[in-house]
Amino acid sequence: MINLPINLDNVKAATGLNYPPGEYLLEVADIEEAVSKAGNPMLIVHNKIVSGPPDADEDLAGKPIRRRYSLTEKALPFFKRFMEACLGAGVSIGGGFDKAMVVGRKFVAKVTIKNDWPEIGDERHESEWAGGVPGQGAAAPTQTAPQTSLLSQVEPAQPPAQAVTTGLTAEQLQQLQQLQQLQAQQATAAGQAQQTTQSPYEPPPPPPGTVPGQGQ
């Protein structure tokens, strides 16, 4: 006889995953191969919830949710719908399937509850996600007027013009640089000499009737 010191009077019995029905944004976490009870090949797609319906009682982000896809000829349209939800409509998948094609991809799905367990259906591309509002189409993209930067109207600064030195030898280049330095020094000296020759004070003109240079 097993005797455990526990009390289950205030414990609520498990009722499966508490996922409210509605539209979910899911991300493919992993895919594994399996065989159904009837012996048919199938894939089990493990997803994690990115966002759920707004009326959810708790934050569902990161919680698991999965679906089985049979690979029989009759069931392939459902797997094709899942692939297009992940990769986009019209994508070519005729060259075989690799789970790396969809792992990490997001898609929208409608979740219903059957036998106390969530079931995934109506898979669609993530562009149709409407922020968790069930029954509502994709949110219209917000269009913003293009902003023109003032810098786009400014011409880029041009580099200063330089002397043409193509074809000159190293000795000629050195002489040219010395000449340029000498010219710059002469220009600086000329500017300083012009400033010193200008008197800061200019005497007023002599009174009428006087001869410049003679005393009064």
Q: Residue 54's domain is classified under what CATH number?
A: 2.40.50
Instruction: Write the CA distances from 53 to 20, 70, 125, 213, integer angstroms.
Output: 8, 28, 17, 106
Give the number of other Cβ atoms within 10 Å of residue 169's Cβ.
8
What is the arithmetic mean of pLDDT over 24-34? 95
Instruction: Give a yes or no: residue 114 inside a domain.
Output: yes
Instruction: Give a yes or no: residue 168 inside a domain.
Output: no
Please give the pLDDT value at position 213: 56
3-state helix, strand, coil in the chain (%, to 5): 25, 25, 55
In contact, 145 and 44? CB cutoff 8 Å:
no
Instruction: Give a yes or no: residue 144 inside a domain.
Output: no
Please give the pLDDT value at position 129: 84
Instruction: Give a yes or no: residue 101 inside a domain.
Output: yes
- CA-CA distance, 86 to 126, in Å (whole number)? 8
**pLDDT higher for 24 or 93?**
24
CA 105 to chain centre: 16
- CA-CA distance, 52 to 39, in Å (whole number)? 34
Q: Encode pLDDT of 125-139 as tens digits.
A: 999 887 644 333 333
pLDDT band at 166 (very low <50, low <70, confident <90, very high): low
pLDDT band at 107 (very low <50, low <70, confident <90, very high): very high
What is the arithmetic mean of pLDDT over 52-73? 87
- CA-CA distance, 67 to 78, in Å (whole number)? 11
Instruction: Write the CA distances from 207 to 201, 202, 211, 214, 215, integer angstroms.
Output: 18, 15, 9, 12, 12
Start-to-end CA span in the chain (Å):
144
Instruction: Give a yes or no: residue 140 inside a domain.
Output: no
Q: Which domain holds residue 97?
A: 22-128
Instruction: Indicate the number of domains in the chain.
Output: 1
Instruction: Give a yes or no: residue 59 inside a domain.
Output: yes
**Mean pLDDT rounded to a whole number for the chain:** 75
167: alpha, beta or left, given left = phi > 0 and alpha = psi -120 to 50?
left
Q: Provide the token pair at 160.
A: 């200063």
Instruction: Give a yes or no: residue 40 inside a domain.
Output: yes
